[in-house]
Amino acid sequence: MIHHDAELLLAAGAVLDDLAPDEQAAYEVHRAGCAACAVAEDELALVLADLVLVVPERLPPPDLLAGIRRAIDAEDEVDEGRIAGAAGNPSPPLRLLPKAASPGAAGPPVVARPPRPVAGALALVAVLAIVAVGIGARTAGLQAELDRSEAVVERLRAELDGRGAVLAAAVDPAHVSVVLHPKAVAPDAQATVMYVPGTETAWVVAERLPTTGPGQGYQLWYADQAGVHGLQTVVYDGIGPFVAPLGVDLATSDAVMLTLEDAGGAQGEPGPQVVFGEL
């Protein structure tokens, strides 16, 4: 015979379709004559029906209900130990309360059980824990999707801005275009540097560049009489043309190149050349 508090936990398990066959059978027998359990089951079903609109279907951790059952069993042992007293001198697990009757009349005793609110509340804890798992996972998933979408939008915006700037440079009568020659790192690459002398409008446009690996990027460089100067490092995902600004006036420069570097860029000697061209 199981206590009614444990049967409230079974009501939550029945709503979640998570009862073993013997538990389901025992609960159905009890529920047939228990209005409280029937109401609790109906209310839990309504709550879960509302939550299904925002929480994806997820399986609870395998040890969730088992852990709650162990907590209830431990609570039962504590309560029975308090009632029974010391070993060897057991007292009845139930206490008798006098039944209300008319003055002077003695009525039969009424059996009452000490209240156990903690164990009864664990059924609700089971449902809330499962709901929290679903809501937390859904929130994390939506945040990850939002972050990815924002990154894609930012990349597309930068790419469109770059293409617009390159087009503007191309229609400038003063613009200069120089082909950059591929090296062993990217033997199939096709690259051009386009710039407008006397301005900082200078862009490298390339196709068929390999995707940069984790922690790597393509660094832009230009050379003049003062030496070789490193510029920004750009991570490339292989989607669409590679378009990157140099942001310097190349009117007095001698060469432009791309090298493969760590994502932070080289601070001294350039790494392996990807494309190179003299101006």
| Average pLDDT, integer, range 115-139 | 56
CATH code reported for the domain at 174-278: 2.60.40
Q: Where are the domains of the chain?
A: 4-99+112-144, 174-278
pLDDT beyond 90 at 131: no
Amino acid type, 40: A
Model-level pTM greater than 0.85? no
SS (H, E, C) 99-161: CCCCCCCCCCCEEECCCCHHHHHHHHHHHHHHHHHHHHHHHHHHHHHHHHHHHHHHHHHHHHH
pLDDT beyond 80 at 180: yes
Express each pLDDT in 15-25 by its tens digit. 777 778 888 88
The confidence score (pLDDT) of residue 138 equals 60
The first and second tokens of residue 125, run together, are: 């804890």
Express each pLDDT in 216-251 by its tens digit. 999 999 999 999 999 999 999 888 889 889 999 999
pLDDT beyond 90 at 133: no
| Average pLDDT, integer, range 4-14 | 69
| CA 11 – CA 13 distance, rounded (Å) | 5
Q: Which range has the top average pLDDT, 13-17, 75-79, 88-92, 113-117?
A: 13-17
Express each pLDDT in 152-178 by its tens digit. 666 656 665 666 667 676 768 888 999
